[in-house]
């Protein structure tokens, strides 16, 4: 008995607290609470009706809001029109018919009255249960436009921030507020699964790729910015670099090329909208449940222009009575498309549902909606669930309302799945869902490939040359030498690597031997061995001769007859390989075989003379090729001859002279060759002094 009295009191108390209801009529209402019903109240509305009703907020500075919980009009015969103002002269906001549940309705920012006007018309035939909507008032949101005030590092001329993996960026947020920015909060989404709160934040990007950073600016009334800043961040890894050489060992005094092998990576921008979390679908009777994802990776002006640009909308879900459900997709602009119509499907399951009345989840199946589907979901093929009940097979199905109602919608924004449970009993889950757009909509300009800007080898005295990314190394001494190269890309990301070369000993030969000379083109190359080996014992070494450096390095072919080598030019370079099999490396050197002129020189002669006093004899000295016969003249007279002695000299005493006398050479003959001469020498006669005496 006590339980009955308590129940009665509760019922009466609840009735006393219930909000006022407003049926559709021509009477205007000022309120901020209550329920808006069709003209039939809890019953059906009547035929041939035409009512206009205006709702305005009773709280100054607020706006009216309607959240529909039920909607059922005769499709395309009875209509509910909504005007964005306090009369039908205001802009038409929405038109509703059929059973699609309207969105939450409230005045737009352009509507300064805060009121909404409803017009209902019904035809003269069928009538149905109408609608029910909860009334409330909210403070209208101010306009908030978010921006990136600055960043460190700053964006480049292309508006993109470019960093290396593991580098941090400082983001400084900004915003313009139509009313006030006091108390505003800034929540950042870095597009890598992490967020941060604060007007100025620092974030590290550990993984290379392309990211769109956004910020939500929220005022104390929970109003948020209407735009996406979509700040693009490109994050690059250091370039890949390795060092290639033909060998890790090399003989001393022998060149070896080291090549830096450098590669860079291309990073493709993948605009994959996020996947939602789990949403419980309780047992309801005309109640709607929503789950949303935020799409923000497309260009802000991109809209849906073709129904095939939505490749699929996929839900992983289970429910124990498909016939209860209406499933809709709502675009960021509020456009609605029906994925699964109500009614339809009866008691068939979705997924491997748990139908024991508890809230224990069953197992979800993947149901995709796409224009490539051939049947609608409720007509899909079935399989058997764990409890023996029929369930719709996973697959791709045709959306019952198509995607045409979504044309013109922006891609960026909040996309919402709305599931309305139209009947009591049965529940289910949406474990996750996602919307997939055509790859052609993805901004390709955001993909990038960092360029290699520098390849720098660390200086080392054994580096003898550089060509592009290749260096030539050669060491005069044995031992390990390590070489390092630093590679940098256009993002400033650097990578370095090293490689060590073990230089091996070779015979310590003379690396600058003298040339081998011959009066003919025939040479005995073995005559150069002592010059090459120096103090080394010839019996301990093999000295091999080659016509080219390549042949010497290859060890073949050798010059076949080194003791009788025939030169084809005046100077022929001979390449030598010296082997000592107790050492790992041979030694290499080269010398020139030079043909010289061995013909005897032409005979020569010269003449000199002295100065004498008048009336004395002079001295004329002939010098030149020993034993040669010299022909000469005296004062241009007839030819005379003298023969040089074994020392190449002849001294001639002149007659007594009183004037100068010139001896001119005509020729010289050595017994084989006569050489003409032109030199001369003059015996200079100096006059004697004179004296006189007078009395």
Encode pLDDT of 292-328 as tens digits.
888 888 887 889 999 999 999 999 999 999 998 999 9
- 218-227, 338-347, 537-546, 651-660: segment of lowest average pLDDT: 218-227
So what's the pLDDT on residue 11?
Answer: 33
Per-residue pLDDT tens digits for 383-412: 999 999 999 999 999 999 999 999 999 998
Model confidence, pTM: 0.56
Dihedral angle computed from the Cα positions of residues 116, 122, 127 and 133, in that order, rounded to the nearest 10 degrees: 0
Local confidence band at 445 (pLDDT 50, 70, 90 cut-offs):
confident
Burial (CB count within 10 angstroms: exposed 0-12, middle 13-18, buried 19+), residue 135: buried
Residue 277 has pLDDT above 90, yes or no: no
For the CA atoms of the chain, what is the radius of gyration? Answer: 55
Q: pLDDT tens across 79-89, in order?
A: 999 999 999 98
pLDDT for residue 19: 65
Q: Which of 269-273, 482-486, 504-508, 616-620 has the lowest mean pLDDT?
A: 269-273
- Stretch 636-664: mean pLDDT: 95
| Closest among 279, 127, 299, 269 to 208, alpha carbons compared | 269
What whole-number distance in Å separates Cα of residue 140 and Cα of residue 662?
133
Instruction: Please name which of 48, 43, 24, 45 lies closest in space to residue 35, comparing C-alpha atoms.
Output: 24
Q: Return the minimum-mean-pLDDT range out of 105-109, 542-546, 589-593.
A: 105-109
pLDDT band per the 50, 70, 90 thresholds, residue 695: low
Per-residue model confidence (pLDDT) at position 17: 38
For 540-588, the pLDDT digits (tens) are 999 999 999 999 989 999 999 999 999 999 999 999 999 987 887 898 9
What percent of the chain is predicted at pLDDT more than 70? 97
pLDDT at position 9 over 80:
no
Q: In this model, does residue 4 exceed pLDDT 60?
A: no
For residue 281, pLDDT over 70 is answered with: yes
From the centroid of its chain, how far is CA 404?
Answer: 38
CB 450 within 8 A of CB 489: yes
Buried b (16+ CB within 10 A) or exposed e, 651-666: ebebeebeeebbbbbb
Distance, in Å, from the CA atom of 686 to the CA atom of 692, rounded to the nearest integer, reads 20
The chain-wide mean pLDDT, for the chain, equals: 90
CA torsion angle for 142, 145, 151, 157 (degrees, to 10)?
-170
Cα(213)–Cα(194) distance, rounded to whole angstroms? 11
pLDDT tens digit sequence for 469-516: 999 999 999 999 999 999 999 999 999 999 999 999 888 899 999 999
Burial 424-436, CB ≥16 within 10 A → b, else e: eebbbbbbbbbbe
Which pair of structure tokens corresponds to residue 560?
Answer: 């076949």
Spatial CB neighbours of 134, under 8 Å, sequence gap ≥ 6: 35, 36, 66, 67, 69
Average pLDDT over residues 345-359: 91
Tokens of 177: 């507020």
Which of 36-40, 126-130, 423-427, 463-467 shows the lowest per-residue confidence on average (mean pLDDT)?
Answer: 423-427
Burial, 357: exposed, middle or buried (Cβ in 10 Å; 0-12, 13-18, 19+)? Answer: exposed
Would the pLDDT of 1 be above 80?
A: no
pLDDT-based confidence at residue 16 (cuts at 50, 70, 90): very low
**Is residue 5 scored above 50 in pLDDT?**
no
Question: Are residues 486 and 307 in contact, defined by beta-carbon separation less than 8 angstroms?
Answer: no
557: preceding bond cis by omega (within 30 degrees): yes
Q: What are phi and psi of 529, to 5 degrees?
A: -60, -45
SS3 563: helix
- Mean pLDDT over residues 321-338, rounded? 91
Using left for φ > 0, alpha for ψ between -120 and 50, and beta otherwise, residue 411 falls in alpha
Residues 647-666 have a mean pLDDT of: 95
| Own/partner pairs, 195-201, CB within 8 angstroms, 24+ separation | 199/172, 199/173, 199/174, 200/170, 200/171, 200/172, 200/173, 201/170, 201/171, 201/173
d(CA 201, CA 216): 13
Of 489 and 104, the structure prediction assigns the larger pLDDT to 489
Determine the longest span between alpha carbons in the chain, in angstroms. Answer: 199
CA atoms within 13 A on the CB side of 73: 25
Beta-bridge partners for 576: 545, 589
Task: Pick the closest to residue 652 from 625, 677, 683 (CA basis).
Answer: 683
From the CB of residue 247, how many other CB atoms can be counted at a distance below 10 Å? Answer: 9
Has residue 12 got a pLDDT over 50? no
Nearest to 366 by CA among 351, 381, 345: 351
Least trusted range by pLDDT, from 202-211, 216-225, 282-291, 649-658: 282-291
Token digits of residue 429? 């889950």
The arithmetic mean of pLDDT across residues 91-109, rounded, is 83
Number of CB atoms found within 10 A of residue 540's CB: 11
Per the document, the length of the chain is 695
Q: How far is the C-alpha of 345 from the C-alpha of 322, rounded, in Å? A: 5
């Amino acid at each position: 008995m006590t339980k009955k009295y308590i129940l009665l009191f509760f019922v009466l108390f609840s009735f006393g607290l219930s909000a006022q209801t407003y049926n559709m009529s021509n009477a205007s209402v000022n309120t901020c609470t209550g329920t808006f019903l069709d003209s039939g109240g809890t019953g059906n509305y009547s035929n041939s009706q035409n009512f206009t009703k205006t709702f305005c907020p009773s709280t100054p500075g607020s706006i009216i809001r309607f959240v529909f919980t039920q909607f059922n009009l005769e499709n395309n015969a009875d209509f509910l029109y909504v005007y964005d103002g306090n009369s039908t002269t205001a802009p038409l906001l929405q038109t509703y018919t059929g059973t699609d549940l309207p969105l939450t309705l409230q005045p737009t920012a352009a509507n300064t009255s805060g009121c909404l006007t409803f017009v209902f018309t019904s035809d003269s035939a069928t009538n149905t249960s109408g609608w029910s909507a909860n009334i409330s008032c909210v403070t209208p949101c101010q306009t908030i436009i978010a921006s990136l005030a600055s960043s460190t590092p700053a964006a480049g001329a292309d508006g993109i921030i470019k960093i290396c993996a593991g580098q941090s960026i400082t983001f400084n947020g900004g915003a313009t507020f139509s009313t006030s920015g006091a108390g505003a909060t800034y929540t950042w989404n870095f597009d890598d699964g992490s967020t941060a709160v604060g007007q100025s934040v620092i974030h590290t990007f550990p993984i290379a790729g392309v990211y769109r950073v956004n910020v939500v600016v929220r005022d104390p009334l929970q109003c948020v910015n209407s735009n996406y800043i979509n700040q693009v961040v490109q994050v690059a890894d250091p370039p890949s670099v390795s060092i290639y050489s033909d060998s890790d060992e090399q003989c001393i005094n022998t060149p070896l090329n080291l090549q830096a092998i450098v590669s860079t990576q291309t990073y493709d921008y993948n605009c994959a909208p996020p996947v939602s979390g789990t949403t419980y679908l309780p047992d309801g009777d005309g109640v709607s449940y929503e789950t949303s994802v935020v799409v923000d990776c497309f260009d802000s002006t991109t809209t849906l222009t073709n129904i095939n640009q939505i490749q699929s909308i996929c839900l992983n879900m289970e429910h124990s009575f498909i016939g209860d459900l209406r499933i809709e997709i709502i675009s960021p602009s509020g456009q609605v498309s029906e994925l699964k119509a109500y009614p339809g499907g009866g008691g068939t399951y979705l997924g491997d549902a748990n139908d024991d009345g508890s809230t224990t989840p069953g197992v979800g199946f993947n149901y995709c909606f796409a224009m490539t589907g051939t049947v609608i979901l409720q007509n899909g093929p079935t399989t058997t669930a764990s409890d023996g009940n029929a369930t719709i097979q996973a697959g791709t199905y045709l959306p019952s309302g198509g995607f045409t109602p979504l044309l013109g919608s922006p891609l960026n924004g909040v996309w919402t799945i709305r599931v309305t449970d139209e009947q009591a009993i049965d529940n289910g889950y949406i474990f996750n869902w996602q919307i997939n757009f055509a790859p052609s909509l993805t901004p390709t300009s955001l993909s990038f490939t960092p360029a290699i800007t520098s390849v720098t080898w660390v200086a080392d005295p054994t580096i003898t040359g550089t060509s592009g990314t290749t260096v030539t190394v050669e060491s005069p001494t044995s031992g390990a030498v390590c070489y390092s190269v630093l590679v940098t890309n256009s993002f400033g990301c650097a990578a370095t690597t090293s490689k060590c070369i073990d230089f091996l000993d070779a015979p310590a030969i003379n690396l600058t031997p003298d040339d081998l000379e011959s009066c003919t083109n025939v040479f005995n190359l073995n005559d150069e061995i002592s010059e090459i080996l120096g103090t080394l014992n010839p019996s301990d070494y093999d000295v091999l001769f080659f016509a080219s450096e390549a042949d010497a390095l290859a060890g073949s072919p050798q010059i076949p007859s080194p003791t009788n080598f025939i030169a084809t030019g005046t100077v022929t370079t001979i390449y030598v390989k010296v082997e000592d099999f107790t050492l790992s490396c041979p030694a290499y050197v080269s010398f020139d075989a030079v043909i010289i002129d061995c013909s005897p020189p032409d005979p020569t002669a010269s003449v000199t003379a002295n100065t004498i006093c008048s009336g004395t004899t002079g001295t004329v000295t002939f010098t030149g090729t020993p034993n040669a016969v010299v022909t000469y003249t005296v004062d241009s007279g007839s030819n005379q001859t003298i023969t040089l002695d074994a020392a190449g000299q002849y001294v001639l005493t002149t007659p007594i002279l009183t004037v100068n006398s010139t001896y001119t050479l005509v020729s010289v003959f050595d017994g084989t060759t006569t050489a003409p001469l032109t030199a001369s020498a003059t015996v200079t006669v100096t006059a004697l002094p004179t004296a006189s005496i007078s009395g």
